[in-house]
Amino acid sequence: MKYQNNPPDASALMTSARSFGNYDLSSALADLLDNSIKAKARSIEIKCIRKDDGPEVRILDDGSGMSANELHRAMRPASTNPDDERARDDLGRFGWGMKSASLSQCRLLTVVTRHDGVLSGASWDLDDLADWKMGVLEPEEIKALADQRLLERDGTEVIWCKCDRLSEFGQVGGKGFNDIVAHAKAQLSLIFHRYLGGEEGLRKLKVNFNGDALKPADPFFRHHDATQAQPKETLTLDGQPIEVQAFILPHYSKITAGEHDRLGAEEGFVRNQGFYVYRQHRLIIHGTWFRLVKHGELSQLVRIAINIPNSLDAMWKITLDKADAQLPSGLKSRLKDIVDGLKRKSGKVFQSRGGRVRNEAGKTSVWAKYVRNGEVRYYLNREHPLIAGMLDDDDKDRAKAFAAALGIIEDCFPVVSIGEDYSSRPEMMNQSVVDRSTFIEKLDAALPSLLLHVGGNMKTLHEIVASTEPWSNHADIVLTHLKDKGWN
Ligand SMILES: Nc1ncnc2c1ncn2[C@@H]1O[C@H](COP(=O)(O)OP(=O)(O)OP(=O)(O)O)[C@@H](O)[C@H]1O
Ligand SMILES: [Mg+2]
Protein backbone atom coordinates (compact mmCIF):
# COMPACT_ATOMS: atom_id res chain seq x y z
CA MET A 1 0.00 0.00 0.00
CA LYS A 2 1.09 3.54 -0.71
CA TYR A 3 0.02 6.54 1.30
CA GLN A 4 -0.72 10.02 0.18
CA ASN A 5 -1.95 13.07 2.06
CA ASN A 6 -5.67 13.61 1.79
CA PRO A 7 -6.58 16.62 3.94
CA PRO A 8 -10.12 17.99 4.02
CA ASP A 9 -11.09 21.05 2.04
CA ALA A 10 -10.80 23.95 4.51
CA SER A 11 -13.95 25.73 3.52
CA ALA A 12 -16.05 22.56 3.43
CA LEU A 13 -14.82 21.30 6.79
CA MET A 14 -15.24 24.59 8.61
CA THR A 15 -18.68 25.10 7.11
CA SER A 16 -19.77 21.68 8.30
CA ALA A 17 -18.27 22.50 11.73
CA ARG A 18 -21.10 25.02 11.99
CA SER A 19 -23.41 22.11 12.52
CA PHE A 20 -21.28 20.08 14.94
CA GLY A 21 -23.36 19.95 18.05
CA ASN A 22 -26.76 21.48 18.20
CA TYR A 23 -25.82 24.96 19.33
CA ASP A 24 -28.13 27.86 19.92
CA LEU A 25 -26.90 31.24 21.15
CA SER A 26 -26.99 30.11 24.80
CA SER A 27 -25.09 26.87 24.39
CA ALA A 28 -22.57 28.57 22.08
CA LEU A 29 -21.91 31.29 24.66
CA ALA A 30 -21.76 28.64 27.40
CA ASP A 31 -18.96 26.88 25.52
CA LEU A 32 -16.96 30.14 25.47
CA LEU A 33 -17.66 30.76 29.14
CA ASP A 34 -16.26 27.29 29.84
CA ASN A 35 -12.99 28.41 28.26
CA SER A 36 -12.93 31.65 30.26
CA ILE A 37 -13.55 29.72 33.49
CA LYS A 38 -10.71 27.37 32.67
CA ALA A 39 -8.51 30.45 32.10
CA LYS A 40 -9.39 31.50 35.69
CA ALA A 41 -11.48 34.49 34.69
CA ARG A 42 -13.39 36.22 37.49
CA SER A 43 -15.32 38.58 35.34
CA ILE A 44 -16.84 38.13 31.87
CA GLU A 45 -18.68 40.67 29.76
CA ILE A 46 -20.97 39.58 26.94
CA LYS A 47 -22.31 42.07 24.46
CA CYS A 48 -24.83 41.13 21.77
CA ILE A 49 -25.49 44.25 19.83
CA ARG A 50 -27.29 45.09 16.64
CA LYS A 51 -25.22 47.08 14.20
CA ASP A 52 -26.18 48.46 10.81
CA ASP A 53 -24.55 45.51 9.07
CA GLY A 54 -26.08 42.90 11.41
CA PRO A 55 -25.57 41.62 14.94
CA GLU A 56 -22.13 41.50 16.57
CA VAL A 57 -21.23 39.51 19.67
CA ARG A 58 -18.25 40.07 21.96
CA ILE A 59 -17.19 38.02 24.95
CA LEU A 60 -14.45 39.59 27.03
CA ASP A 61 -12.82 37.88 30.01
CA ASP A 62 -10.11 38.78 32.49
CA GLY A 63 -8.51 35.33 32.50
CA SER A 64 -4.89 34.45 31.88
CA GLY A 65 -5.09 35.01 28.10
CA MET A 66 -2.92 33.22 25.54
CA SER A 67 0.54 33.70 24.14
CA ALA A 68 0.81 34.01 20.34
CA ASN A 69 1.74 30.32 20.11
CA GLU A 70 -1.10 29.26 22.37
CA LEU A 71 -3.56 31.32 20.35
CA HIS A 72 -2.28 29.78 17.14
CA ARG A 73 -2.83 26.29 18.56
CA ALA A 74 -6.19 27.20 20.09
CA MET A 75 -7.52 28.45 16.74
CA ARG A 76 -6.73 25.13 15.11
CA PRO A 77 -9.76 22.87 14.64
CA ALA A 78 -9.55 19.85 16.98
CA SER A 79 -6.80 21.61 18.93
CA THR A 80 -6.58 18.80 21.50
CA ASN A 81 -7.28 15.10 21.43
CA PRO A 82 -10.51 14.28 23.29
CA ASP A 83 -8.78 11.21 24.76
CA ASP A 84 -6.17 13.35 26.54
CA GLU A 85 -6.48 13.63 30.29
CA ARG A 86 -7.69 17.07 31.38
CA ALA A 87 -7.08 19.04 34.57
CA ARG A 88 -9.95 18.51 37.02
CA ASP A 89 -11.26 22.06 36.60
CA ASP A 90 -10.98 22.06 32.78
CA LEU A 91 -14.44 22.34 31.25
CA GLY A 92 -13.14 21.51 27.74
CA ARG A 93 -12.91 18.10 26.08
CA PHE A 94 -12.90 18.15 22.29
CA GLY A 95 -10.60 20.96 21.19
CA TRP A 96 -13.42 22.34 19.07
CA GLY A 97 -15.63 24.52 21.27
CA MET A 98 -14.27 27.98 20.54
CA LYS A 99 -14.39 27.30 16.79
CA SER A 100 -17.57 25.24 16.44
CA ALA A 101 -19.63 27.25 18.94
CA SER A 102 -18.57 30.56 17.39
CA LEU A 103 -19.03 29.47 13.78
CA SER A 104 -22.44 28.02 14.62
CA GLN A 105 -23.51 31.65 15.05
CA CYS A 106 -21.20 33.69 12.81
CA ARG A 107 -19.01 33.53 9.68
CA LEU A 108 -16.10 35.61 10.97
CA LEU A 109 -14.46 34.65 14.26
CA THR A 110 -11.73 36.87 15.69
CA VAL A 111 -9.90 36.21 18.95
CA VAL A 112 -7.74 38.88 20.55
CA THR A 113 -5.87 38.00 23.69
CA ARG A 114 -3.26 39.39 26.07
CA HIS A 115 -0.93 37.18 28.09
CA ASP A 116 1.85 38.55 30.30
CA GLY A 117 1.28 41.92 28.67
CA VAL A 118 1.71 40.65 25.09
CA LEU A 119 -1.20 41.11 22.68
CA SER A 120 -2.04 38.67 19.86
CA GLY A 121 -4.98 38.29 17.53
CA ALA A 122 -6.17 35.77 14.93
CA SER A 123 -9.27 35.15 12.86
CA TRP A 124 -11.08 32.59 10.75
CA ASP A 125 -13.29 33.94 7.99
CA LEU A 126 -15.57 31.31 6.43
CA ASP A 127 -15.72 33.40 3.26
CA ASP A 128 -11.94 33.46 2.85
CA LEU A 129 -10.52 30.17 3.99
CA ALA A 130 -8.67 28.81 1.00
CA ASP A 131 -5.92 26.43 2.06
CA TRP A 132 -6.46 26.94 5.80
CA LYS A 133 -5.58 30.64 5.65
CA MET A 134 -5.89 32.03 9.18
CA GLY A 135 -5.77 35.79 9.66
CA VAL A 136 -3.02 36.99 12.02
CA LEU A 137 -3.74 40.50 13.25
CA GLU A 138 -1.14 43.26 13.22
CA PRO A 139 -0.61 45.20 16.51
CA GLU A 140 -2.45 48.27 15.11
CA GLU A 141 -5.37 46.10 14.01
CA ILE A 142 -5.60 44.57 17.50
CA LYS A 143 -5.54 48.00 19.13
CA ALA A 144 -8.26 49.28 16.84
CA LEU A 145 -10.49 46.25 17.34
CA ALA A 146 -10.02 45.09 20.94
CA ASP A 147 -11.84 46.39 23.95
CA GLN A 148 -9.75 49.08 25.67
CA ARG A 149 -9.56 47.04 28.88
CA LEU A 150 -7.63 44.35 27.06
CA LEU A 151 -4.88 46.85 26.32
CA GLU A 152 -4.37 47.29 30.06
CA ARG A 153 -4.70 43.82 31.57
CA ASP A 154 -4.49 40.16 30.52
CA GLY A 155 -7.55 38.41 29.19
CA THR A 156 -9.26 37.27 26.01
CA GLU A 157 -11.91 38.75 23.76
CA VAL A 158 -13.82 36.60 21.29
CA ILE A 159 -15.58 38.59 18.59
CA TRP A 160 -18.27 37.24 16.26
CA CYS A 161 -18.98 39.26 13.12
CA LYS A 162 -21.13 38.37 10.11
CA CYS A 163 -23.60 36.71 12.47
CA ASP A 164 -25.79 35.28 9.74
CA ARG A 165 -27.49 32.79 12.05
CA LEU A 166 -28.41 35.56 14.48
CA SER A 167 -29.51 37.99 11.80
CA GLU A 168 -32.20 35.53 10.75
CA PHE A 169 -33.89 36.53 14.01
CA GLY A 170 -33.38 40.25 13.55
CA GLN A 171 -35.71 40.46 10.62
CA VAL A 172 -39.09 40.10 12.29
CA GLY A 173 -39.31 43.67 13.54
CA GLY A 174 -36.25 43.01 15.69
CA LYS A 175 -38.32 41.20 18.33
CA GLY A 176 -36.85 37.77 17.67
CA PHE A 177 -33.33 38.98 18.39
CA ASN A 178 -34.33 40.43 21.78
CA ASP A 179 -36.09 37.18 22.61
CA ILE A 180 -33.09 34.98 21.95
CA VAL A 181 -30.86 37.34 23.92
CA ALA A 182 -33.31 37.20 26.85
CA HIS A 183 -33.43 33.40 26.54
CA ALA A 184 -29.61 33.22 26.53
CA LYS A 185 -29.41 35.36 29.68
CA ALA A 186 -31.84 33.05 31.47
CA GLN A 187 -30.04 29.92 30.29
CA LEU A 188 -26.58 31.14 31.30
CA SER A 189 -27.90 32.16 34.74
CA LEU A 190 -29.04 28.55 35.14
CA ILE A 191 -26.12 26.72 33.50
CA PHE A 192 -23.49 28.54 35.55
CA HIS A 193 -25.52 29.18 38.71
CA ARG A 194 -22.99 27.41 40.93
CA TYR A 195 -20.17 29.58 39.53
CA LEU A 196 -22.22 32.78 39.72
CA GLY A 197 -23.02 31.98 43.33
CA GLY A 198 -19.42 31.02 44.19
CA GLU A 199 -20.66 27.64 45.51
CA GLU A 200 -18.79 24.40 46.14
CA GLY A 201 -15.53 26.26 46.71
CA LEU A 202 -15.60 27.57 43.12
CA ARG A 203 -14.03 30.89 42.18
CA LYS A 204 -16.97 33.30 42.11
CA LEU A 205 -17.74 34.43 38.60
CA LYS A 206 -19.30 37.72 37.55
CA VAL A 207 -21.03 37.78 34.18
CA ASN A 208 -22.42 40.94 32.70
CA PHE A 209 -24.66 40.42 29.68
CA ASN A 210 -25.74 43.51 27.75
CA GLY A 211 -25.49 45.59 30.93
CA ASP A 212 -27.28 43.10 33.22
CA ALA A 213 -25.36 41.30 35.96
CA LEU A 214 -26.48 37.66 35.72
CA LYS A 215 -27.85 36.33 38.97
CA PRO A 216 -27.54 32.64 39.85
CA ALA A 217 -30.79 30.83 38.99
CA ASP A 218 -30.93 28.01 41.51
CA PRO A 219 -33.24 25.32 40.10
CA PHE A 220 -33.61 23.76 43.57
CA PHE A 221 -34.75 26.89 45.33
CA ARG A 222 -32.50 26.05 48.26
CA HIS A 223 -32.96 29.37 50.04
CA HIS A 224 -36.67 28.67 50.56
CA ASP A 225 -37.75 27.22 53.92
CA ALA A 226 -40.26 24.90 52.29
CA THR A 227 -37.70 23.24 49.99
CA GLN A 228 -36.79 19.81 51.32
CA ALA A 229 -33.12 19.06 50.67
CA GLN A 230 -32.33 15.36 50.97
CA PRO A 231 -28.92 14.26 52.27
CA LYS A 232 -26.02 14.34 49.78
CA GLU A 233 -24.86 10.92 48.62
CA THR A 234 -21.62 10.02 46.88
CA LEU A 235 -21.76 7.15 44.40
CA THR A 236 -18.67 5.87 42.65
CA LEU A 237 -18.24 4.92 39.03
CA ASP A 238 -14.91 3.63 37.78
CA GLY A 239 -13.40 4.74 41.08
CA GLN A 240 -14.56 8.34 40.51
CA PRO A 241 -16.99 10.13 42.83
CA ILE A 242 -20.42 11.19 41.64
CA GLU A 243 -22.34 13.47 44.00
CA VAL A 244 -26.10 13.12 44.09
CA GLN A 245 -28.59 15.23 46.02
CA ALA A 246 -32.34 15.34 45.65
CA PHE A 247 -34.63 18.24 46.41
CA ILE A 248 -38.37 18.40 46.79
CA LEU A 249 -39.53 21.85 45.78
CA PRO A 250 -42.20 23.74 47.69
CA HIS A 251 -45.80 23.33 46.58
CA TYR A 252 -46.93 26.34 44.55
CA SER A 253 -49.21 27.53 47.30
CA LYS A 254 -46.11 28.21 49.41
CA ILE A 255 -44.28 30.42 46.93
CA THR A 256 -45.12 33.64 45.14
CA ALA A 257 -46.27 33.79 41.53
CA GLY A 258 -42.91 35.29 40.50
CA GLU A 259 -40.99 32.52 42.24
CA HIS A 260 -43.20 29.89 40.67
CA ASP A 261 -42.64 31.30 37.19
CA ARG A 262 -38.92 31.40 37.75
CA LEU A 263 -38.82 27.76 38.85
CA GLY A 264 -41.00 26.60 35.98
CA ALA A 265 -38.90 28.76 33.63
CA GLU A 266 -39.98 28.89 29.99
CA GLU A 267 -40.99 25.26 29.72
CA GLY A 268 -43.04 24.86 32.91
CA PHE A 269 -42.75 22.46 35.81
CA VAL A 270 -43.24 19.19 33.98
CA ARG A 271 -40.38 19.86 31.62
CA ASN A 272 -38.15 20.91 34.48
CA GLN A 273 -38.57 17.96 36.80
CA GLY A 274 -35.93 15.26 36.81
CA PHE A 275 -32.18 14.99 36.97
CA TYR A 276 -29.91 18.01 36.74
CA VAL A 277 -26.54 16.75 35.56
CA TYR A 278 -23.56 18.99 36.27
CA ARG A 279 -20.13 18.42 34.84
CA GLN A 280 -17.61 19.93 37.19
CA HIS A 281 -20.51 22.04 38.59
CA ARG A 282 -21.54 23.39 35.20
CA LEU A 283 -25.04 22.26 34.22
CA ILE A 284 -25.09 20.24 31.02
CA ILE A 285 -28.50 18.63 30.98
CA HIS A 286 -31.77 18.90 32.88
CA GLY A 287 -35.41 17.94 32.65
CA THR A 288 -34.86 14.23 32.02
CA TRP A 289 -35.44 11.11 34.09
CA PHE A 290 -33.24 8.99 31.78
CA ARG A 291 -36.25 6.69 31.56
CA LEU A 292 -35.79 5.65 35.20
CA VAL A 293 -39.14 7.08 36.19
CA LYS A 294 -42.44 6.50 34.47
CA HIS A 295 -44.57 9.49 33.62
CA GLY A 296 -46.49 10.73 36.65
CA GLU A 297 -44.75 8.27 38.99
CA LEU A 298 -42.88 10.99 40.84
CA SER A 299 -44.19 14.38 41.70
CA GLN A 300 -43.26 17.23 39.40
CA LEU A 301 -41.70 18.82 42.46
CA VAL A 302 -38.69 16.51 42.52
CA ARG A 303 -35.34 17.57 41.08
CA ILE A 304 -32.12 15.64 41.58
CA ALA A 305 -28.66 17.17 41.22
CA ILE A 306 -25.83 14.96 39.97
CA ASN A 307 -22.27 16.23 39.68
CA ILE A 308 -19.81 14.29 37.54
CA PRO A 309 -16.07 14.83 37.14
CA ASN A 310 -14.71 15.43 33.61
CA SER A 311 -12.72 12.18 33.88
CA LEU A 312 -15.99 10.30 33.22
CA ASP A 313 -16.83 12.19 29.99
CA ALA A 314 -16.42 9.10 27.83
CA MET A 315 -18.73 7.01 30.03
CA TRP A 316 -21.40 9.70 30.03
CA LYS A 317 -20.94 10.23 26.27
CA ILE A 318 -20.78 14.01 26.66
CA THR A 319 -21.65 15.70 23.38
CA LEU A 320 -19.52 18.31 21.64
CA ASP A 321 -21.91 21.14 22.53
CA LYS A 322 -21.93 19.96 26.21
CA ALA A 323 -25.70 19.92 26.10
CA ASP A 324 -26.36 16.20 26.26
CA ALA A 325 -25.15 13.07 28.00
CA GLN A 326 -26.23 9.49 28.51
CA LEU A 327 -26.62 7.74 31.80
CA PRO A 328 -23.92 5.04 32.18
CA SER A 329 -25.54 1.66 32.78
CA GLY A 330 -23.43 1.11 35.91
CA LEU A 331 -25.31 3.92 37.64
CA LYS A 332 -28.85 3.02 36.71
CA SER A 333 -29.76 0.75 39.58
CA ARG A 334 -28.17 3.02 42.19
CA LEU A 335 -30.05 6.07 40.95
CA LYS A 336 -33.22 4.01 40.78
CA ASP A 337 -32.81 3.22 44.52
CA ILE A 338 -32.58 6.94 45.25
CA VAL A 339 -35.65 7.65 43.14
CA ASP A 340 -37.61 4.86 44.86
CA GLY A 341 -36.78 6.29 48.27
CA LEU A 342 -38.13 9.63 47.13
CA LYS A 343 -41.47 8.44 45.90
CA ARG A 344 -43.03 8.31 49.34
CA LYS A 345 -41.62 11.67 50.46
CA SER A 346 -42.66 13.65 47.41
CA GLY A 347 -46.09 12.05 47.49
CA LYS A 348 -46.61 13.61 50.89
CA VAL A 349 -45.88 17.16 49.77
CA PHE A 350 -48.14 16.56 46.88
CA GLN A 351 -50.92 14.89 48.72
CA SER A 352 -51.20 17.30 51.56
CA ARG A 353 -53.21 19.41 49.11
CA GLY A 354 -56.83 18.52 48.54
CA GLY A 355 -58.25 15.13 47.81
CA ARG A 356 -60.46 14.61 50.87
CA VAL A 357 -64.18 15.20 50.75
CA ARG A 358 -64.67 18.05 53.19
CA ASN A 359 -68.08 19.39 53.82
CA GLU A 360 -67.07 22.30 56.03
CA ALA A 361 -69.59 24.90 57.03
CA GLY A 362 -69.42 27.93 54.75
CA LYS A 363 -67.36 26.04 52.11
CA THR A 364 -68.60 24.63 48.83
CA SER A 365 -66.86 21.43 47.82
CA VAL A 366 -66.72 19.74 44.42
CA TRP A 367 -67.37 16.26 45.74
CA ALA A 368 -69.74 15.41 48.53
CA LYS A 369 -70.72 12.12 50.08
CA TYR A 370 -73.57 10.80 52.05
CA VAL A 371 -73.57 7.87 54.39
CA ARG A 372 -76.99 6.34 54.96
CA ASN A 373 -78.11 2.92 56.16
CA GLY A 374 -74.56 1.70 56.02
CA GLU A 375 -74.17 2.85 52.41
CA VAL A 376 -71.64 5.44 51.22
CA ARG A 377 -72.13 7.29 47.96
CA TYR A 378 -69.99 10.01 46.41
CA TYR A 379 -71.68 12.62 44.29
CA LEU A 380 -70.81 15.81 42.51
CA ASN A 381 -72.10 18.83 44.34
CA ARG A 382 -74.93 20.35 42.23
CA GLU A 383 -74.58 23.53 44.30
CA HIS A 384 -71.04 24.12 43.10
CA PRO A 385 -71.36 27.36 41.10
CA LEU A 386 -69.62 26.02 38.00
CA ILE A 387 -71.77 22.90 37.96
CA ALA A 388 -74.91 24.83 38.89
CA GLY A 389 -74.20 27.27 36.07
CA MET A 390 -74.05 24.46 33.51
CA LEU A 391 -77.19 22.79 34.85
CA ASP A 392 -78.90 26.15 34.49
CA ASP A 393 -78.04 26.48 30.79
CA ASP A 394 -80.77 28.22 28.80
CA ASP A 395 -80.39 25.49 26.22
CA LYS A 396 -82.40 22.82 28.03
CA ASP A 397 -81.09 19.93 25.95
CA ARG A 398 -77.52 20.90 26.76
CA ALA A 399 -78.37 21.18 30.47
CA LYS A 400 -79.98 17.73 30.34
CA ALA A 401 -76.96 16.22 28.64
CA PHE A 402 -74.71 17.76 31.27
CA ALA A 403 -76.88 16.34 34.08
CA ALA A 404 -76.67 12.94 32.38
CA ALA A 405 -72.89 13.28 32.19
CA LEU A 406 -72.68 14.05 35.91
CA GLY A 407 -74.84 11.01 36.60
CA ILE A 408 -72.61 8.61 34.69
CA ILE A 409 -69.43 10.03 36.21
CA GLU A 410 -70.90 9.30 39.66
CA ASP A 411 -72.29 5.87 38.72
CA CYS A 412 -68.98 4.79 37.29
CA PHE A 413 -66.79 6.42 39.93
CA PRO A 414 -63.82 4.00 40.20
CA VAL A 415 -64.13 3.44 43.94
CA VAL A 416 -62.46 0.04 44.02
CA SER A 417 -59.53 1.06 41.90
CA ILE A 418 -58.95 4.23 43.92
CA GLY A 419 -59.21 2.26 47.16
CA GLU A 420 -56.68 -0.31 45.95
CA ASP A 421 -54.23 2.28 44.69
CA TYR A 422 -54.52 4.34 47.80
CA SER A 423 -53.89 1.45 50.12
CA SER A 424 -50.99 -0.03 48.16
CA ARG A 425 -49.15 3.09 46.93
CA PRO A 426 -50.54 6.31 48.37
CA GLU A 427 -47.45 8.25 47.33
CA MET A 428 -48.28 7.68 43.69
CA MET A 429 -51.79 9.12 43.83
CA ASN A 430 -51.38 12.13 41.67
CA GLN A 431 -54.64 14.00 41.18
CA SER A 432 -54.33 17.63 42.14
CA VAL A 433 -52.72 20.33 40.03
CA VAL A 434 -49.13 21.17 41.08
CA ASP A 435 -48.51 23.72 38.43
CA ARG A 436 -49.54 27.28 39.18
CA SER A 437 -50.07 28.24 35.55
CA THR A 438 -52.31 25.20 34.98
CA PHE A 439 -54.33 26.16 38.07
CA ILE A 440 -54.75 29.70 36.72
CA GLU A 441 -55.54 28.45 33.22
CA LYS A 442 -58.35 26.33 34.63
CA LEU A 443 -59.59 29.22 36.75
CA ASP A 444 -59.64 31.48 33.69
CA ALA A 445 -61.69 28.91 31.81
CA ALA A 446 -64.23 28.86 34.66
CA LEU A 447 -64.46 32.62 35.27
CA PRO A 448 -66.90 33.63 32.47
CA SER A 449 -69.42 31.06 33.67
CA LEU A 450 -68.95 32.10 37.31
CA LEU A 451 -69.42 35.74 36.41
CA LEU A 452 -72.66 34.88 34.65
CA HIS A 453 -73.74 32.84 37.67
CA VAL A 454 -73.33 35.87 39.98
CA GLY A 455 -74.98 38.22 37.51
CA GLY A 456 -71.78 40.20 37.02
CA ASN A 457 -71.51 41.11 40.71
CA MET A 458 -67.79 41.31 41.50
CA LYS A 459 -68.25 41.24 45.26
CA THR A 460 -70.23 37.98 45.08
CA LEU A 461 -67.69 36.54 42.65
CA HIS A 462 -64.92 37.24 45.19
CA GLU A 463 -66.96 35.64 47.98
CA ILE A 464 -67.61 32.59 45.85
CA VAL A 465 -64.04 31.91 44.84
CA ALA A 466 -62.89 32.43 48.42
CA SER A 467 -65.29 29.75 49.67
CA THR A 468 -65.49 27.27 46.79
CA GLU A 469 -63.21 24.37 45.92
CA PRO A 470 -60.70 24.20 44.35
CA TRP A 471 -60.14 27.95 44.35
CA SER A 472 -60.65 28.39 48.10
CA ASN A 473 -57.63 26.12 48.70
CA HIS A 474 -55.47 28.86 47.17
CA ALA A 475 -57.60 31.94 47.72
CA ASP A 476 -54.57 34.25 47.77
CA ILE A 477 -53.53 33.13 44.27
CA VAL A 478 -57.07 33.53 42.95
CA LEU A 479 -57.59 36.97 44.48
CA THR A 480 -54.23 38.22 43.16
CA HIS A 481 -55.14 36.90 39.73
CA LEU A 482 -58.54 38.68 39.79
CA LYS A 483 -56.78 41.87 40.85
CA ASP A 484 -54.26 41.50 37.99
CA LYS A 485 -57.20 41.18 35.59
CA GLY A 486 -58.69 44.35 37.04
CA TRP A 487 -61.66 42.36 38.36
CA ASN A 488 -61.82 44.15 41.71
N1 LIG B 1 -10.94 32.68 26.90
C2 LIG B 1 -9.84 31.94 26.84
N3 LIG B 1 -8.77 32.22 27.63
C4 LIG B 1 -7.65 31.48 27.57
N5 LIG B 1 -7.49 30.41 26.76
C6 LIG B 1 -8.51 30.08 25.96
C7 LIG B 1 -9.72 30.82 25.94
N8 LIG B 1 -10.56 30.26 25.04
C9 LIG B 1 -9.89 29.22 24.52
N10 LIG B 1 -8.66 29.09 25.07
C11 LIG B 1 -7.66 28.05 24.74
O12 LIG B 1 -8.01 27.51 23.52
C13 LIG B 1 -8.13 26.11 23.58
C14 LIG B 1 -9.14 25.62 22.59
O15 LIG B 1 -10.43 25.96 23.04
P16 LIG B 1 -11.67 25.17 22.50
O17 LIG B 1 -12.86 25.66 23.22
O18 LIG B 1 -11.69 25.25 21.03
O19 LIG B 1 -11.37 23.66 22.89
P20 LIG B 1 -11.33 23.02 24.35
O21 LIG B 1 -11.82 23.97 25.36
O22 LIG B 1 -9.96 22.48 24.55
O23 LIG B 1 -12.33 21.80 24.20
P24 LIG B 1 -13.91 21.86 23.88
O25 LIG B 1 -14.09 21.62 22.43
O26 LIG B 1 -14.47 20.76 24.68
O27 LIG B 1 -14.39 23.20 24.29
C28 LIG B 1 -8.46 25.83 25.03
O29 LIG B 1 -8.05 24.54 25.41
C30 LIG B 1 -7.68 26.90 25.74
O31 LIG B 1 -6.35 26.49 25.95
MG1 LIG C 1 -13.70 24.91 25.13
36 lines ligand 1 (CB under 6 A): yes
Distance 211 CA to ligand 2 centre (A): 25
Flag whether 432 is in a domain.
Answer: yes
20, 27, 35, best to mutate for ligand 1 pocket (most atoms within 8 Å of CB): 35
Average the pLDDT over 335-350 and give the result. Answer: 72
Which of 213, 239, 271 is at the close of a domain? 213
Contacts of 361 (CB under 8 A, 6+ apart): none
The answer as to whether 219 is a domain residue is no
Shared domain check, 233 and 195: no
pLDDT tens-digit readout, 121-175:
999 999 998 889 999 999 999 999 999 999 999 999 999 999 988 876 655 455 5
Q: What is the mean pLDDT of the chain?
A: 87
> Does the beta carbon of 99 sit less than 6 angstroms from any atom of ligand 1?
yes
Q: Is residue 3 part of a domain?
A: no
Average pLDDT over residues 315-336: 90
Q: Are 239 and 77 a contacting pair, CB within 8 Å?
A: no
Ligand 2: centre distance to CA 91 (Å): 7
pLDDT of residue 297: 63
Q: Is 156 in the pocket of ligand 1 (CB under 6 A)?
A: yes
Comparing CA positions, the residue from 251, 242, 320, 231 lying closest to residue 280 is 242
My answer on whether 88 and 156 are in the same domain is yes
Does any domain span residue 198? Answer: yes
**pLDDT of 353 strictly over 60:** no
What whole-number percentage of the chain has pLDDT above 70? Answer: 89
pLDDT of residue 476: 86
How many angstroms separate the alpha carbon of residue 97 from the centre of ligand 1? 7
Q: What integer pLDDT is reported at residue 172 of this predicted model?
A: 44
405 and 448 part of one domain: yes
pLDDT at 200 over 90: no
Quote the percentage of the chain above a pLDDT of 90. Answer: 48
Burial-class residue 350 by CB neighbours within 10 Å (0-12, 13-18, 19+).
buried
Domain end call among 351, 382, 410: 351
pLDDT at 76 over 90: yes
CATH number of the domain within which 152 lies: 3.30.565.10
Q: Is 31 in the pocket of ligand 1 (CB under 6 A)?
A: yes
Query: Which segments within 100-198 are labelled E, that is strand?
Result: 108-115, 118-125, 135-136, 155-161
Query: What range defines the domain where residue 166 resides?
Result: 10-213
> 333: domain CATH number?
3.30.230
Q: What is the mean pLDDT of residues 37-52?
A: 95
- 309 and 276 housed in the same domain: yes
Higher pLDDT, 168 or 342: 342
Q: Is the dihedral of CA 193, 195, 197, 200 positive or negative?
A: positive
Are 458 and 338 in the same domain? no
**Is pLDDT at 15 greater than 50 in this prediction?**
yes
- Same domain, yes or no, for 209 and 237? no
Residue 456: per-residue pLDDT: 86
Is the beta carbon of 192 within 6 A of some atom in ligand 1? no
468 DSSP assignment: B
Separation of CA 257 and ligand 1 centre (Å): 40
Pocket of ligand 1 contains residue 92 by CB under 6 Å? yes
Identify whether 56 is part of a domain: yes
pLDDT surpassing 60 at residue 295: no
Strand partners, 113: 120, 156
Task: Check whether residue 136 and residue 207 sit in a common domain.
Answer: yes
Looking at residue 361, its pLDDT comes to 67
Query: Within a domain: residue 222?
Result: no
Confirm or reject: Cβ of 20 under 6 Å from ligand 1.
no
| pLDDT tens figures, 444-457 | 999 998 888 888 88
| Pair (341, 431) in one structural domain | no
Contact 14, 103 (CB under 8 A): yes
Domain boundary pick from 213, 239, 265: 213
**Which ligand has the nearest atom to the CA of 38?**
1
**Mean local confidence (pLDDT), 16-41:** 94
* pLDDT at residue 280 greater than cutoff 50: yes
Q: Which residue has the higher pLDDT, 325 or 192?
A: 192
State the average pLDDT over residues 257-275.
Answer: 76
Indicate whether 352 pLDDT > 50: no
Task: Answer yes or no: do 209 and 232 share one domain.
Answer: no
In the predicted model, is pLDDT for residue 322 greater than 60?
yes
Distance 92 CA to ligand 1 centre (A): 7
| CB 193 less than 6 A from any atom of ligand 1 | no
Ligand 2 center to 136 CA (angstroms)? 21
Whether residue 363 contacts residue 469, with contact meaning beta carbons closer than 8 Å, is answered with yes
Same domain membership, residue 467 and residue 433: yes
3-state secondary structure 374-432: CEEEEEECCCCHHHHHHHCCCCHHHHHHHHHHHHHHHHCCCHHHHHHHHHHCHHHCCCC
For residue 413, being part of any structural domain is answered with yes
Q: What is the domain count for the chain?
A: 3
> Is residue 40 domain-shared with residue 189, that is, in the same domain?
yes
Mark whether 257 and 207 lie in a shared domain.
no
Task: Assess if residue 218 is contained within a domain.
Answer: no
